[in-house]
Amino acid sequence: MKNLSTKIVNHLETQNHINPNICQINAISEIESKLSRSLKQKIVEVFRKEFTGIYLYGSVGVGKSVILKALNLLFENSEIFHFSDLIFHIQKSKGLKKEFGIEKKLILIDEFYINNLTNIILFKKFLSESFKKKKMIIMTGNRKITQIYDDPINKQLCKDIKVFLDQNFKQIKMTSKVDYRSKENVNHNFFFINKDNANRFQNSLRKQLAITSIPRDLTFKRKGYKFTLNNFYGNLIDIEFEDFIKKNLVFQDFLIIAKKIKFIIIRNIPQLNDDLRDSSHRFVSLIDAFYENKNILSISTKVELDNIYCGKKNIVELKRTISRLKEMGSNTYITKNLKNFVKK
């Protein structure tokens, strides 16, 4: 049986069309060193006495997420979460009796990103209990641990989580000369970037794809919260950016929308800045949810994609969002996912 490293590399080459560089190969080898060389071995026999995790970090589009997803496919005793979805999962779980409801021994966490103190408290508790249960955790992120989050009022709490992560995770910096998500230009039949008459083009696109011409309201529910979106066309929703953002939705809400509706039109995305911090955070969550669910997206923006954020505080996160948008606007992404979008 081929070893795990070979399987992951082959998967990246054949399924993601990525020829791994030396940095990616080294990261994959480091992961394998923490796991069994044979997928048949029981995972309890794999881990060493030190149940430390691995943290892959680096700029956008360097292959962190695809390695994690390949590992999840190839290592059967694993479970993968987007970080925001994991926090929601922790909040829903009832204490620690069922290990947060996660039975797998290898926990994979994509897009680790802390932006509030509640997440720090919840995540540290989750990690502590997971390590006690001899679980292994591998996660990805854009920032190194010393840069993850700072709060001027609760400096000690921020320092404590950084020390805890530094003690329990081996950090591996990922680099690449290529942003794998931005290898193609966007499809201008779906993405209308700083273009006159964008509304007219998006109206035409909606007519082609919607299964009904009569819009209605659609109400979504999650525990303790209900919200309604307008302009639902059966398999498609058509909404103004400002209307979307001002509803005070979170990642889990966007994920509910993503799972219900395959095609989403978002109109008139403005240039974001540090004065629009809440809008920026929601925009990041919105695109993360749609990207993870492989939704087909049409957007119109008032500026070029690379200039959609002109602030400084969230530049790392928005850089990732822009990278994901470029992939979602590519012919390859649209063609691959459009086959699952059947107009009935």
The model's pLDDT over 282-291, given as tens digits with 9 standing for 90+, comes to 999 999 999 9
**Is 32 part of a structural domain of the chain?**
yes
Residues 165 and 29 grouped into a single domain: yes
pLDDT of residue 95: 52
Cβ partners under 8 Å of residue 280, min gap 6: 272, 273, 274, 309, 311, 314, 317, 318
Residues 216 and 151 grouped into a single domain: no
Domain count, the chain: 2
> If pLDDT is split at 50, 70 and 90, which confidence band does 97 have?
low
pTM here? 0.80
Residues 136 and 236 grouped into a single domain: no
Task: Using the 3D structure, point to which of 140, 174, 208 is the last residue of a domain.
Answer: 174
**Is 24 part of a structural domain of the chain?**
yes
Residues 41 and 186 grouped into a single domain: no
Distance, CA of 246 to CA of 229 (rounded, Å): 12
Q: What is the CATH number of the domain that holds 161?
A: 3.40.50.300
Given a cut of 60, whether residue 1 has pLDDT beyond it is: no
Residues 169 and 225 grouped into a single domain: no
**Is 164 part of a structural domain of the chain?**
yes
Cβ partners under 8 Å of residue 269, min gap 6: 241, 283, 299, 300, 301, 302, 308
> If pLDDT is split at 50, 70 and 90, which confidence band does 327 have?
very high
| Torsion of Cα atoms, 177 then 179 then 180 then 182, to 10° | -140
Instruction: Please check whether residue 238 is in contact with residue 214, taking contact to mean a CB–CB distance below 8 angstroms.
Output: no
Residues 249 and 325 grouped into a single domain: yes
Task: Using the 3D structure, point to which of 142, 174, 206 is the last residue of a domain.
Answer: 174
Picking from 240, 232, 318, 233, the residue whose alpha carbon sits closest to that of residue 60 is 318
Per-residue pLDDT, averaged over 171-180, amounts to 86
Task: Using the 3D structure, point to which of 174, 205, 240 is the last residue of a domain.
Answer: 174
The model's pLDDT over 239-268, given as tens digits with 9 standing for 90+, comes to 999 988 888 888 889 999 999 999 999 999
Instruction: Please check whether residue 89 is in contact with residue 101, taking contact to mean a CB–CB distance below 8 angstroms.
Output: yes
Residues 69 and 148 grouped into a single domain: yes
Residues 184 and 170 grouped into a single domain: no
The boundaries of the domain holding residue 293 are: 180-338
Given a cut of 80, whether residue 101 has pLDDT beyond it is: no
Distance, CA of 280 to CA of 290 (rounded, Å): 16
